[in-house]
Structures are given as structure tokens and as C-alpha cells.
Amino acid sequence: MSEVPYHHGNLATTMLDAANAMLEHMPAEKIGLREIARQLGVSASASYRHFGSREALMAALAARGFRQLSAELDRAAALPGDTPALQRLGRAYVRFALANRNLFDLMMRHPRDGTSPDLESSTAEAFSRLSVAVSRLTGTHQREATVGAWALVHGLAILISDRQLAEDLMQDDTLDRLVEVTTATYLAGLTSPAPTS
């Protein structure tokens, strides 16, 4: 495991960097404040001054993950081409989930219990990217439709991560196509005229 340098006066950020590095090798439940403090060569009491509990550290790490996800979605939305934004966001979401499996798991499983406003706001920011894409397609803000889009790409990410699909669908060179086809089906439903009675 690579060492994360500690810069005096920036311990909170350095602790998050260390925890994020650990997530590349182990699930979040195995990461604790004392282990991070030991790695950084600081006292446990110093780490607790920045994060009062392990849960506070995990909430901050999950919030940072959502900000990273939002940045990836923004990059995808800004890509040139005729592909609808929702499909580009879907690809970016699935790719982020697969590239950051333990972080993604922490982001999605950490409780939203009101104790971390930063986590609440960063989650809402990521959700807003999908909301904008759906609104542009439908002409109106449709919260339920946005939830449906999120559920679709999130479900795909989980199915692929858990190796629940046929092997030929989960190959790296076919993943984007899988996301494109499934999101296109959802798009067709969003943009088709409502049936008249």
C-alpha cells in the first residue's frame, strides 16, 4: 500500500486521501481512524480532532466520492456529438461505479440520517445532473422519471459489478453498448407521446 504524505495543517484532507487509497484494496468497513493515524504517523487524538468518529470520516469520504461522480457526469455531458446526454451520463455513471467499486459501495450504502449536510448536498448535486438531462428530454422537471433513470444505470452498475450478466455483455468493449441500448429503451419511453383514451 502506497504511503500518503502528511502535510502539517492539512490533516483532514490527508486522512481522506489515505482512506481513499485504502478503499482500493479493502471495503470501507475495514477502515478505521486509528489505522489511518498509524499510517500517517500522527496520534489517534489528532485524527479524532478532525473527524469525531469513524462514521464522520466515512460520510466525508462518501461526500467526496459524490463530488467526483458529479465531475465525471459533467465531463460526459460536455462531450460533443449527437448521443443524448442521458446516455452519456449513463455510461459515465457505470464506468465510475466499476472503476471505484469500494468507494461506490460506501457512497450508496452510507446512511442519509441528517448528520452530514455535506453528504446530503453532494448526493443531491449528483442527482441534479440526471434531473437536468431528463428535463431537457421531456420539457418538464419529472422527479420520478429522474429516479427511474438513476435506478436504471445504478442497477446496471450493480449487475455488472456483481457479475450477474452473461459474460459477453460484461466485456470492456461491449459495456458502453450495453448502457447505450438500455438507456435508449428508457429514452424512448420518456419521449413517446402519452396514450390517449
Per-residue model confidence as pLDDT tens digits over 150-174 = 999 999 999 999 989 888 888 888 8
pLDDT score at 115: 80
pTM of the complete model: 0.85
pLDDT per residue as tens digits for the range 119-153: 999 999 999 999 998 888 877 667 888 899 999 99
- Give dist(CA 155, CA 171) in Å, integer: 17
Residue with the three cell numbers 500522527:
42
For residues 165 and 155, what is the distance between their CA atoms, to the nearest angstrom? 11
pLDDT at 50 over 80: yes
Mean pLDDT of 14-39: 91
Tens digit of pLDDT for each residue in 63-119? 999 999 999 999 999 998 888 888 999 999 999 999 999 999 999 988 777 788 999
Supply the pLDDT for residue 175. Answer: 87
